Amino acid sequence: MTQRTLVLIKPDAVRRGLVGNVLSRFEAKGLTIVAMEHRHIDAAQAEAHYAEHVERDFYPPLRTFVTSGPLVALVLEGDEAIEVVRLVNGATDGRKAAPGTIRGDLSLSNRENLVHGSDSPESAEREIALWFPSLD
């Protein structure tokens, strides 16, 4: 089933010059970029995106991190894209993510883990509407 999912290439990836590396993995997998934008978000956008996490202990440093510099937001489309992107991204903690995944190959952090991918069809719909409200 063809799906769309919201991906963020987070500020650590931009700072480290890994945008091309990350994008090429998604493209090589067969996913199609249907929207993409370079943005530097404020606290309000961080809170809207991470609404499910705002009460968590890790949210204040997460907000500081995701607003710390520009990121690249994109929508990827493909067969089972939501789950496929989560698999390509790897486990949340880069120290535990499997080699071969983006986080497993390129991150050694539980917070600065390079990428975000929507975790369900409901999240994907909400996040795509939040980041790309005019996308058809």
Let me know: does 135 contact 34? Beta carbons within 8 Å: yes
Which positions from 95 through 134 interact with Mg ion, judged by CB under 5 A? 119
Q: Binding-site residue total for ligand GDP (CB under 6 A)? A: 10
Cα–Cα distances (Å) from 81 to 2, 25, 65, 111, in that order, read 7, 13, 26, 23
x/- binding map, residues 14-53, to ligand GDP, per CB under 6 A? ---------------------------------------x
Cα–Cα distances (Å) from 14 to 81, 104, 129, 130, in that order, read 23, 17, 23, 21
Instruction: Establish if 69 lies at the interface with ligand GDP (CB under 6 A).
Output: no
49 is catalytic: no
Is 92 one of the annotated binding-site residues? yes
Q: Measured from the CB atom, is 21 or 110 closer to ligand GDP?
A: 110
Out of ligand GDP, Mg ion, none, what residue 62 binds, judged by CB under 5 to 8 A for its kind, is ligand GDP
Instruction: Establish if 64 lies at the interface with ligand GDP (CB under 6 A).
Output: no
Let me know: does 114 contact 106? Beta carbons within 8 Å: yes
42 DSSP 8-state letter: -
**What is the binding site for Mg ion (CB under 5 A)?**
119
